[in-house]
């Protein structure tokens, strides 16, 4: 079955510290992978996506993610977290055989300490 697992429900980091949010997926074909961010009262915003090619992808707001096929992972990273990064982060998988629908993980809530 196709699924996305985000093992960490809640993470707290200090402002300026580095961040890594984990995402593992199960998908039968070549996956398209996404990270979205949801701030309170806001809609989901796409941070970055992977379709093919370079396995390290850069996104907005200084985020990056690395696709590791052997580990079925697509972890999100940021070298230095800002207080404004506090939000809910969702990893999602889709593919050419799914007609565009996305399967989402349960989300990781990020809190940032001053």
Binding residues for other proteins, rule: CB under 8 A, are: 4, 6, 32, 36, 41-46, 49, 51, 90, 92, 94-96, 98-107
Nearest distance, CB of residue 44 and other proteins, angstroms: 4
Long-range residue pairs from 44-52, CB within 8 A, at least 24 positions apart, any chain: 44/90, 47/76, 47/89, 48/76, 50/74
- Least Å distance, CB 20 to other proteins, is 19
Eight-class DSSP state of 31: P
Helices (H) and strands (E) in the chain, counts: 0, 12
* Beta carbon of residue 15, minimum distance to other proteins (angstroms, whole number): 25
Q: Which C-beta is closer to other proteins: that of 12 or that of 14?
A: 12
């Amino acid at each position: 079955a196709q699924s996305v697992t985000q093992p960490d429900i809640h993470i707290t980091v200090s402002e300026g510290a580095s961040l890594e949010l984990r995402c593992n997926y199960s998908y039968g074909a070549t996956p398209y992978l996404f990270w979205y961010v949801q701030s309170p009262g806001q809609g989901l915003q796409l941070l970055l996506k992977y379709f093919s090619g370079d396995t390290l992808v850069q996104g907005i707001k200084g985020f990056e993610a690395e696709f590791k096929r052997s580990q079925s992972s697509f972890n999100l990273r940021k070298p230095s977290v800002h207080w404004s990064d506090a939000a809910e982060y969702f990893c999602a998988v889709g593919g050419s055989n799914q007609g565009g629908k996305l399967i989402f993980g349960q989300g990781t809530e990020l809190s940032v300490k001053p």
